[in-house]
Amino acid sequence: MGFLIGVGLVLGVGASLPDGRLHMVVCDVGQGDAILLTFRSRQILVDGGPDDRVVDCLSRHMPFWDRALEVIVLTHPQADHMNGLVDVLRRYDVSEVFLTGATNTTDGFMAFKAAVLQEGASLHFARRGDEIRLEPLALTVVWPKAAIGTLASFRKEAIDAAVLGETTATDVNETSVVLLAQFGTFRALMTGDIGIDTEQALLRSGALNRVDVLKVAHHGSKYATSSDFLSVIRPQLALISAGKKNRYGHPTSDTLMRLDSVGAEILRTDERGDIEIMSNGEDYWVLE
């Protein structure tokens, strides 16, 4: 797999063009996550960041006439991944929504749920082995092992924590949907906010091996992206979504050192803004 960084291509609307290549954009949404995958005129959005900045990212990387998203994935229901999806659901036609079923009683989650139900998109509760296909792009769910919720429970007007499994902030991170994107021989792993416990479970499952690109978990927290995990997946390129001068100190020096130790090139939204990767299924490039 070839890899070039800093390719200065004149592609002002690069991801808008149906060029037969995969475009993967880590949106600059501040302290949060939003990842847009585009192949031809079809898109998958993984998370939506904390606010409507994700809509600006979509405007930059989709043609103005395209008001449809084939799939939205919410990796887990925390504000920095979820809240921006409310605006996306209001402004775009969305065909399918994937989520785990983990929930909470925050205003943000209630607004997200209302927007999903109003949109009328097909709902899927992600579990290991599920596939999202926009041929020839395939996204495989490698975590969680089993879906947490059901359509009936999601539709309930009143949230019943005993039924829906309301979780603590730490626990809900560990339920994050983890996706392996494959396009030809190109492989990218998107890890939500999982921590070391889930990384160890994934290693025990044997579900992972080497990848080209890693979307680093939890904005570069020191409690994720362990040395054991990196020794198996050995990414060439590590992408970190974090806000400038965020109060958490993300990404941490510990995580950056671990990534450097396996030879990963590190790109950060707090330093570069949007990060766009393009692949023809054999090689891949970072677009400037």
Could you tell me the CATH number of the domain that includes residue 124? 3.60.15.10
Element housing 255 (H / E): helix 253-261
Handedness of CA 245, 251, 257, 261 (dihedral sign): negative
pLDDT value for 5: 58
Give the domain range for residue 181. Answer: 3-11+22-287
Sheet of strand 186-190: strand arrangement:
131-134, 137-143, 178-183, 186-190, 213-215, 237-240, 265-268
| 143-198 pLDDT, tens digit each | 999 988 888 878 875 444 444 444 445 589 999 999 999 999 999 999 999 999 99
pLDDT value for 261: 98
| 127-137 pLDDT, tens digit each | 999 999 999 99
Which among 176, 196, 181 is positioned nearest to 254, based on CA atoms? 196
pLDDT (tens, 9 = 90+) of the chain, 288 residues, equals: 666 655 444 344 444 457 899 999 999 999 999 999 999 999 999 999 999 999 999 999 999 999 999 999 999 999 999 999 999 999 999 999 999 988 888 999 999 999 999 999 999 999 999 999 999 999 999 999 998 888 887 887 544 444 444 444 558 999 999 999 999 999 999 999 999 999 999 999 999 999 999 999 999 999 999 999 999 999 999 999 999 999 999 999 999 999 999 999 999 999 999 999 999 999 999 998
Which among 149, 68, 152, 140 is positioned nearest to 102, based on CA atoms? 149
CA angle 64, 68, 72 (to 5 degrees): 125
Tell me whether residue 137 is in a domain. yes
Tell me whether residue 48 is in a domain. yes
Tell me whether residue 16 is in a domain. no
Q: Is the pTM value of this prediction over 0.85?
A: yes
Tell me whether residue 138 is in a domain. yes
How many whole angstroms separate alpha carbon 239 and alpha carbon 6?
A: 14
Give one DSSP letter per residue of 32-76, joined into a string: S--EEEEETTEEEEE---SSTHHHHHHHHHS-TT--EEEEEE-SS
Please identify which residue in the block is written with the tokens 């429970």.
Answer: 153
Token digits of residue 195:
């921590």
Tell me whether residue 239 is in a domain. yes
- 258 contacts 225 by C-beta, under 8 angstroms: yes
Token digits of residue 189:
């792993």
pLDDT value for 128: 97
Please identify which residue in the block is written with the tokens 């992408």.
Answer: 239
Tell me whether residue 177 is in a domain. yes
pLDDT value for 165: 43
Report DSSP state, residue 225. Answer: S
Tell me whether residue 17 is in a domain. no
| Number of separate domains in the chain | 1
pLDDT value for 17: 57
